[in-house]
Every structure is written in C-alpha cells, then in structure tokens.
Structure 1
C-alpha cells in the first residue's frame, strides 16, 4: 500500500471518530446531562450509551462550554469577537449560541474540518428546517472551493488543518479578522496528527491571531495500564494518538503552549475540573441522573483527559481556567520496587470476593467475567507444583453477586454478605459456606435482630469479642445512599444482629475501603467519601472492656488517598495494595504503614515481566504465606471508558519481602536517611480527604 493510500485510510478513520463522538453527545443530552436540542439533527438515530460514557461526554461538554462562556463574558463589550473551531465535526456550538440570543451578539463562528466532513455537515444543515432556519445564507454565494456554508455569523470551511497556509487562505476568504478577540477550539483533534504537525498549528495560531484564547481537550498519561489500553484502542481503529507520547501530562502540555508563542497557559485534568470547577449542586444533579457504579473507570477516564486554555494578548487573560492554589507536598517513595511475576494459572474476574479457608486454600465467589456476570465459585489450591484453580459445584444461593464480601469463619467455613446484581438491585441475606471434598455446601442464614441497610462495596471483618464470633460490617453503598457508615455486628454462631457499645468518633461514611483484623479490633483505611473524593485516613476500632473504641492515627507522611484497594496486616504493618488514586503519573503499588510507628512509605511494583497492563482495582488479594510474604493478586481490571474491557487474565504474585525486611522497615522509621523520590503532581494538606490532600478549596 502506498503512503498516499495509507494516509487516506488514516484520515477516513479519524473522520469516523466524529460520528462516534456525536452519537455519544446525543446520548448524554437525551439523558439530561446537558441541554442541546440541535445535536439530534446530526444523527440518524439516537442510541443510548452506558452511564460511564454519558458522564465522560458530559464533563467534556461542560469543560468546553465553561471556556466558551468565559470567553463570551470577557469579550461582551468588544465591538466584534470570533470563534474558530478546528476539526469541528458535527458540533452544534453555533446553533446553541444562536438559540441563546445575546450569547452570539457581535460574534462570528468559523468551523474548519476535512472537506468530506464539512460537505456532509452542510448537506445535513441544508436539509433540516430547524438548522437552515437559523442561518441567513448569503445570496449569490457560490459553494465552490473550501466554503461549504456562508452566512453573516457562521462559516463552514472544508480544509485539511495540516496545511496551515490553505487554512489561512480560506479564513481570509471569508473575512476572519486577525485583530479581534478570537476563541480557538480544538476537541481531540490535534492528537491525531503527527506531533510536529500539531505543534506547527499551535505556533501558527499564536502568530496568526495575536488576541486569542486557545482551548484544547485531549488525552494524557499514556504509560499506565489505562493509558496503554486507551492507546491500543485508537491503534485498532487506525487513529493513533501522537502528541501525548511527548507531552504526557498537564505540565508538559502547558510548557508546550508556552514554548510555541502563547503568553499564559492553564491545564488541568478532568478530575481537577469536575471536583473543583463544577458546583457541588450540579455534581449532585449529574450523579442522580442514572444508576451508576463505575467509579474506578470514571476517575481513571478523567485522569487521562485534560482541558487547557492558553492566551495571547492581555485582553483574554481573564478567560483562562481558574484553578485553585495548591500546596505541594510529596509522598515518600522507596527506591526499592517490589518484584511481580505472573503465575501459570488462568483466573479472571471483576468485583469478586476472596478469603483463605485454610493454608493454601483460597475461595473465590461472585464477580463478572468475559462471559458476563455470575462467575462460578472457584478454589485456588497450592500444592507442591504451585497454584491451581478448580471449579466447584454450581452455586444455589450465591447467584449473580458483585462487590460483596466473603469472610472466613472458624472451622474452615465462610460467610458471604451483601453485594448487588445491578446498581438498582442489592442482594438480601447472608450465606454460610462450607467446603468439603471439593464442593461447597451453602446454607441461607436466617438472622434475627435489627439488620443493617442492604449494601455493597462494604467490608466485613470477623472479630472475637467476649467469646463470641462477631462479623463487623462497615461502610458501603446501596441504590439510595451514595455512601453508608456506622458499624454493625452479627453474632455468626447465633445468627443474630447485636448491639455492641462503640465509643469515639467513627470514620466518615465511605465505600470501597479496606478493613483488616488488628489486635482484636479492625483497622480501616481509605475509601471513597460522600463528596466523591478518595480518602486517606487510618482509623482503628480498638477492643475495650465493654465494647470497642474508634481511634484515629496520624500517619506521616500521609498516605495518598485511594479506594478500591485491598489491605492486609502483617505484624505491626498495614500493607495497602493497588486501588485508584487521582493526579498521579503512576498507579498505586504497595503502601506500607507502621501501625505502631505511624510512618508510611510507597513502593512501586516492578511489572516488567507482566505481559499485559496490570490493573489493580476491582481485584482481590490474599496474603497466603506470611513467613514468605507472598501476596497473591487475583482478577481485576475494568471497563476502560469506550476503549473496551480489560481483564487481568492470570494470577499474579508480589514479593513483599523488600518492603517488610529490616532495611525497608528502617526506612519507615528514619525517612531522613534515604533519598525520597516524589511525583511532582502530588499535593497535600493536613486533612485526609482528597480535596485537602490536593489543596482544593471549597467548590
């Protein structure tokens, strides 16, 4: 195939991203995420997308709309202002602004895209009474050359953006004014070009329009597991992402624009934008529109996209994104990376639960796999030859169950509690599970007493108190409550919910946290809080003569807030594994916290021998050999926005010895004696919510 044919094929694929994008925007608008009655005229049929995709396109629409409104407000007293949309596709911006009346006063909109795209758009506009009626088409204009639509306030131009001289010539043909304030929009456009070509456009715009605001929405962070899946998707559809390799984070993108002739630049990822620049009431409205339980994928999607504003000339400086001041304080990173290796055992699944029934016996229940929800229960067995996975007889009581808990009990059994079938259908009741002769015996538990609200994404820890085996249930969420709190005790032997006195200030409500048995009580860490932000606090439920008492410990340096992780206690150390955190160029590895010393350190995972992206959320882990410090990672992965679902296909083993050995423990006790490596994007305050950790003010 010649280079010309290859380029034409790539151009066609890039143009196809417009069709996919407009369908997703129409879906989000139809579900009430934003108001846009004009998008529907650019599609043949409205198709409903998944809630995760609707949310993703909402935050994109909201960010760009925020920048457009800011520009129009700052320039409201100017005699003339312009909007230049690069790679506009089937965007409906002109029609929305036109319907808004005053928003388009003294403004002209210019849209530029591939000739094939603009000809299709012009035909759709011309054949639709609503759209055509909003244009005062100029009489006598011949639609030849690059001009596809010409009116007093709207021009649609078919030009390849990679040829800036042709773009400039077409814009001058329709009398774009270089000397008036101009907003330049670019939504996931330049990244499809070779990096030098996109850099040339950024520099050209700075020269050609000296009084302008450039707004760009694109991808970042290509090297972590989500970023790798994202890149593979665009490669498969023949639309590779280019510039993010060289400009892989928000700071690099900001420096890119400053080096290409722009005076000021602000760049934030979409987690920053959503949590700090959208009012709390609006976030609550959006979160109430559809049942939703894909928090990990939502935060990772937002972590991998950014909104940027860059200005030329002093007039448009107030149009820049307003970003709250932050305080920079680093995590403590060990120079040691923990070895990771895959095991030749195929086990995959999301949102499973696991527990050790005995040494070398791990029970897996519930979750979803490639075949869908309702994965069968399995046993992982460790023999002389290593680990094997065996199925068990079909479940009669467990059924489809996601985000539940399974907790081992004395005598080799376990209790399965909570979970959900769907975000609208929590699961009632508890199931007692026994293991005999390679099969599971299940018994529905009939419990008396005042039961807690149904829930999922909770924790359930077995305690021994006054000779009783108590299942301590904490946190979670359900179909009506975004987070749950409190603490509930089930007498497992009597199958009765009991009240146990608990003193002290309980941790704030949360879900997707961890809770581990520690010194007869429970240590709770992290989770997702009521504000939709990861938490990083550590609280211990300590046994007392008459009951228990909550006691918060101040770990220094503060561990990074995270959720959807797992945790284990090894001696006096809390081992926190994986999870989701925000604003990092890496993903969580292993955090080691001394519960007696109140010191912490982060350890990266050496995944160089793992032949696939290792996603450590919606997974299970078991500390199967405390002496050898072998940590088994089971399942995990996620639905990576619209890029496909990734499953970790194998068992993975992590060697914790370097983290808990004497030299590493000394690092925890004397942080000043080692070189500390930091992530430049981490910011921290003295509180432990994400907003405080990253220096956010009240939104």
Structure 2
C-alpha cells in the first residue's frame, strides 16, 4: 500500500477506535440509570457523563439484544465439556467480567480481539484496577502483543481483525479450540471495514469454526432520511459504514451469511427484537426509568439497527433468534400506487419540531410553539401567501402563549382559534385553554418602520371553562364536532406524565365554555397518542396513533352523530393501511388523506395513504423527494390545505433528534401535489 494510502487508513483506524470510547461512556450512562446492571463498565471510563434518555434507551436495546444471544448460547451449550466466546473488535466491552461475576462461565473461555492500541489501553486499565485484576485467575503478562492479557478463562489479543492469518495464528497460540462450540460477537465492528474484508471475516469464521454461532449488531437502511443522517454522522467521524452499500437491509444481511458458508441465519431489526423478544414486564420497567417523549426517533433508531444470529452445526441452530416477531405490525405490507407524488420546496427559511398550526383564512397559517435550533421557544408566526409568494409575519400576542410542544390549535367555525394542551417538558404539561383572534384589520401592510419586519396583532384570552375538565395532556387531538345545533371541541387521546396513552374523550361546549357530558355509544377505540382526527359529517374520523404498548395503530374509527349524542364506528379498510403515528390527516370529500408519520414496516417510509371512506379502500403513495435538497423527515410537522380550490398540501416544520447523530430540521416548507390522490 502506498505511503499516502497507509496514512489515510491509519487515520480511519484511529477514528474507528474512537467510537469505542464514546460507546462505553454511553453504556455507563445507561447502566447508571438502571437500564441494565453492569458494575464493571465504570472501570473503563475516565469520566462518566449522563446521556439523553433516547441514547440510554438505544444502548439498552443493544445491550439487551447481545446479552439475550450470549445467554441463549450459554444455555444451549451448558452440557458441553468446553465452550468459547470470541469477541471481534471487543473494545472496552465488559462481557467477560460481568459473566464471570454471575458464575455464568462454567467451562467457558472468552477471547477478545481488537487493534493493538485499544488492547494495550484495556490491558493497562485491567492491570491497574484491583477489581478487574481480581477477576482473573492468573497473573498479567507483560504488555507485548499479540497476547496482552492471559488467564484461565480470559485472553485479550491485540491483532487487526482484517489480518486473517495473524488472527488465526494468535488465537491458536492463545488456546482457542477450533472444534469447540464458539460464540462469535461483532458489535458494530465489521461495517467499519471495507466490505471485502468483512466478508472475508464472515467466511473465515464459517470455515474454521464448524460448531459456532455468529452474533452481529449493525446498521441498515441507508437510503431513507434517517439513514442518510446516520451515514453523514459516521462519515464526519471518519468512520464510514461500508457494509450498508451492499447489504442495506435484514434480507440482504441474511443472504450474506448464507452465501458465506453459514447454514442458518435469522436477522431482526431492533423494533422486532424489542417488541417481540423483550417481555412486556421488562419493557414497562425500562420505559418507566426516565421521562421520555422521543418516540419517533426511538422507533426510527430501532428500525436502522439489527441483531443477527447465524449458525454452523445442529447444536448452534438451537441458539438462533426466533424467526418471527410476536406482534403483527410489520406483517402489514403497503399497497403501493405506481404513482409517486411530487414535492416542491417553498422558498421561506423556517424550522421547528412539535409546532401546531391552524388555517386562519385561505393563504394564512398560524404557527405556535415548537422547538428549533435555539431550543424551545414561544414564537408565534403567520405564514402568509400574497402575490409575491409565501412569507413569514411575526405576531405580537396580547398574552404570552408560553413554551409548548405537541399541543393543538383548532380553528373555530365562527372565527377564532383555540389553543389547548401541550407540554414544556415531559414532566410539565400545560393546563387550560386559550382563545386567539387575529387583529381584524387583516394582513399586514408595509414593513414596520421601527422593528424592520412585518407584524400582526394577536388577541389572546384565557378561557374560563366550567364542568369537569380533562386531565392535562399532549400529543392529543382537538376537533370541532356538532351536537344539537351547537359546536363542541372534542378532545381525544394523548398522553401525560403518568399515562402512556389516554383513551378518553371530552366535549367542550364552545358557546357556554362548559365541559359537557354527551352520550357516546359503541366500543371506544384503543387508548392512543400521536394520532390524527379530522371533522367528518358532523363528527370526527380518527386514524392511527401509538398505543399504550408503544405499538403503532392502523385503524380508522369514526365518531358519528346520533339522535342522543355520538356513536363510535370502526371502518374495516381493505387493504389495511400500514399502522403509523405522528402523521397528519385531512378529509377531502369522502377521502381521508394521511400524510407522513412513522411506521415500523421495513419497506420505505410513509408517504401519503388515501383512505376512501365510502368504499373502505386504501392506496399508499410514495413521495418523490428528488426536488428537496435535504433529507425530508415527516414527523413533528404541521400540514394545511391552504386553499380549498387547490389540491395542494403545505407541510411545515418537522424533523427529529436522530439518536446520537444530531438534531435534524426540515429547512423549508414543502408542498405536495394531491391531484393523483384525489383524481
């Protein structure tokens, strides 16, 4: 290899080694918050740091998946006279120490392999720590490679995993028994290598270890918006994810192992693993550890990582992961139309997550709350369309609307807007209702000479309501329905700091400002949040959402007016739409148009699903995003039909905090041409 290329490769290797240091700090954070028990990780970190709940959850599900596979291997081989664990690119992993403390390594030997520099550092940490050193049953050798630590049940080797002959020689010299049942661990290791090298490692292991189980945890789905952001993150770290190009999904990874000499292979994304193989009681325990409200990013993170087991030998086939998840969400396949809907960016700079919007009048959209690159804020704005196109107008409210996310802003038939619910943090829901009216003088004129910008006045009044009010909530819906000639605000679902999902509905008489009990017949829909609701024939049509278990829903339910009150009616749609949440929806004629959101299906990302409420049929449309110069993430966004005469939907804001890859914002509004949907 030329000198320049050798220097570049060394730089990339150093960057990859740096991912070990970041990873172990995150694991220590998750352990410290009680996600899992690992007393030994702390000894490999110089300075602990508390990570965000989303990152803690992400490292929990990684730890849980690998631990599940390790324990399964140890159970299957419990009667074998000898068994081995071979960890490739082990870094500062503490598996040996944790299993040794649990007395789980009877007749088992652990071999760890990593770059010499990483191994040298780990050996020094072990040697200088009385707790770690005490877990070894013999003395430490001098820190010379490739064998840096050697004891009866633990061997630490400093060898580049890409150097097959050196790895084979070093393992043989350290005492690896090629015929004994062996678990091979690879946690985000092989993808950092050029694909021909990682393929060679997989083939080498299959050839030399006839009784073995390969366990791999890595990334998938590089082409959707989250996948693009994920790839860019690792590229900036000089740690390119090579395997994604050739093996972009679980099916490709499975075929990869079968083609490289493995007899059986099961590959699950982490949504399948978490919802299918982690007991519900354990999920409830984990989900109660910290305040959490990043469901979209959690599910997307889990859909972009997988756990894989591949086996050689009949005994090891018994240690494979289950072939199928035990929940039905991912079994619903999209019924794709051949037509993709075109998008167009609106040349207005804006960003925001968790905002709420309402159409004030054609061409005027009120936007409240949300968060942006500067953090949570209470900026209220009007997105205004005039002859020159769209522009933002700042609004001066008479009363501060406060900092709020995931609230509702509902336009009223007689004019005005009601702002309800939301939160400033997952521990701080916002109570009460506000009634908002724009200055009747209409759209602004020339720029305000003193402030140098357009401004509009906003009259804000606290609504003093009587009756039994709903518990505070966010991620709910608030829709206007009609009963006995009067308009009511129907508040349904959502969540709060104590309830994972709410299933109750409340009626506020807008005329008397009184929370009113109205008879509702029929089986109520499941409790949910992050669903959609839209006025329909005097009632409301509800679609999707996330249930109490954290599983997306795909049902369509109508609250219909009756002589006495209302009645719930479930509509059986064929083909059934793929369950999703965090979407938006609009009724146009007899068509429910559902846009964006998050689903757990592995095939693409949600675009637009059209549900015909008359024929009870549905069609999924993908979005042509080639004209959008950034990854378009359609959750935590708003949408409005800004002109009833035009079949065009305006999408505003959106994005997400993408695990540990940074926060992504959609930079401008976009429009969706709905003519193929409505035609």
Normalized against structure 2, the TM-score is what? 0.96
State how far apart, in whole Å, the 2-side matches of 1:138 and 1:317 are: 37
1:236 and 2:239 matched:
no
Mapping for residues 352-431 of structure 1, pairs under 5 Å: 352-393=355-396, 396-431=399-434
1:336 and 2:354 matched:
no
- Match in the other structure for 1:448: 466
Offset of residue 330 of structure 1: 3.5
Mapping for residues 282-681 of structure 1, pairs under 5 Å: 282-324=282-324, 330-393=333-396, 396-436=399-439, 437=441, 438-661=456-679
Offset of residue 145 of structure 1: 2.6
Offset of residue 394 of structure 1: 5.4
Q: How many pairs align? A: 659
State how far apart, in whole Å, the 2-side matches of 1:592 and 1:143 are: 65
Which digits, 9 at most, give the CA deviation of each residue in 1:406-462, with x for residues without a partner?
001134310000000100010011111110142111111111110011000000001
- Taking structure 1 as reference, are residues 395 and 150 closer, same or farther at Cα in structure 2, changes over 3 Å only? farther
State how far apart, in whole Å, the 1-side matches of 2:325 and 2:130 are: 48
Offset of residue 143 of structure 1: 4.1
1:171 and 2:171 matched:
yes
CA contact (8 A) 1:342 1:650 kept: yes
Q: Secondary structure at the match of 1:551?
A: strand
**Alignment counterpart, residue 34 of structure 1, candidates 33, 36, 39:** 36
Offset of residue 315 of structure 1: 1.5
Which digits, 9 at most, give the CA deviation of each residue in 1:179-237, with x for residues without a partner?
10000000000000001110000000101111110000000000000000000000001
CA contact (8 A) 1:296 1:617 kept: yes
Q: Secondary structure at the match of 1:522?
A: strand
1:10 and 2:12 matched:
yes
Q: Secondary structure at the match of 2:71?
A: helix
- Taking structure 1 as reference, are residues 340 and 395 closer, same or farther at Cα in structure 2, changes over 3 Å only? farther
- Taking structure 1 as reference, are residues 325 and 55 closer, same or farther at Cα in structure 2, changes over 3 Å only? closer
Offset of residue 464 of structure 1: 2.6
Offset of residue 467 of structure 1: 2.6
CA contact (8 A) 2:333 2:578 kept: no
- Match in the other structure for 2:94: 92
Q: After the TM superposition, which of the residue ranges 416-425 and 142-151 deviates more from structure 2?
A: 142-151
CA contact (8 A) 2:582 2:598 kept: yes
Which digits, 9 at most, give the CA deviation of each residue in 1:645-677, with x for residues without a partner?
00001010000001111xxxxxxxxxxxxxxxx
State how far apart, in whole Å, the 2-side matches of 1:582 and 1:278 are: 16
- Taking structure 1 as reference, are residues 359 and 198 closer, same or farther at Cα in structure 2, changes over 3 Å only? same
Q: Secondary structure at the match of 2:339?
A: strand
Offset of residue 142 of structure 1: 4.7
Structure 2: 5+ residue stretches without partners: 442-455
- Match in the other structure for 2:266: 266
State how far apart, in whole Å, the 1-side matches of 2:334 and 2:355 are: 30
State how far apart, in whole Å, the 2-side matches of 1:455 and 1:144 are: 60
Q: Secondary structure at the match of 1:85?
A: strand
Offset of residue 177 of structure 1: 0.5
CA contact (8 A) 2:399 2:459 kept: no
1:279 and 2:282 matched:
no
Which digits, 9 at most, give the CA deviation of each residue in 1:351-392, with x for residues without a partner?
000010111111000000111101401101111222111111
State how far apart, in whole Å, the 2-side matches of 1:16 and 1:142 are: 25
State how far apart, in whole Å, the 1-side matches of 2:52 and 2:142 are: 43
Q: Secondary structure at the match of 2:31?
A: helix
CA contact (8 A) 2:275 2:325 kept: no
CA contact (8 A) 1:448 1:496 kept: yes
CA contact (8 A) 1:461 1:473 kept: yes
State how far apart, in whole Å, the 2-side matches of 1:360 and 1:494 are: 30
1:126 and 2:133 matched:
no
Which digits, 9 at most, give the CA deviation of each residue in 1:286-314, with x for residues without a partner?
00000000000000000000000000111
- Taking structure 1 as reference, are residues 575 and 345 closer, same or farther at Cα in structure 2, changes over 3 Å only? same
Offset of residue 625 of structure 1: 2.2
State how far apart, in whole Å, the 1-side matches of 2:59 and 2:117 are: 24
State how far apart, in whole Å, the 1-side matches of 2:252 and 2:622 are: 23
CA contact (8 A) 1:628 1:657 kept: no
Offset of residue 331 of structure 1: 2.6
- Taking structure 1 as reference, are residues 382 and 143 closer, same or farther at Cα in structure 2, changes over 3 Å only? closer
Aligned-residue RMSD, C-alpha: 1.2
State how far apart, in whole Å, the 2-side matches of 1:450 and 1:190 are: 59
CA contact (8 A) 2:120 2:143 kept: no
Normalized against structure 1, the TM-score is what? 0.93
Offset of residue 396 of structure 1: 3.0
CA contact (8 A) 1:570 1:626 kept: no
CA contact (8 A) 1:138 1:152 kept: no
- Match in the other structure for 1:696: none
Offset of residue 486 of structure 1: 1.6
CA contact (8 A) 1:379 1:389 kept: yes
Offset of residue 522 of structure 1: 0.1
State how far apart, in whole Å, the 1-side matches of 2:396 and 2:580 are: 36
Offset of residue 598 of structure 1: 0.2
- Taking structure 1 as reference, are residues 417 and 43 closer, same or farther at Cα in structure 2, changes over 3 Å only? same
Offset of residue 325 of structure 1: 6.8
Structure 1: 5+ residue stretches without partners: 662-699
State how far apart, in whole Å, the 2-side matches of 1:622 and 1:329 are: 28
Offset of residue 568 of structure 1: 0.1
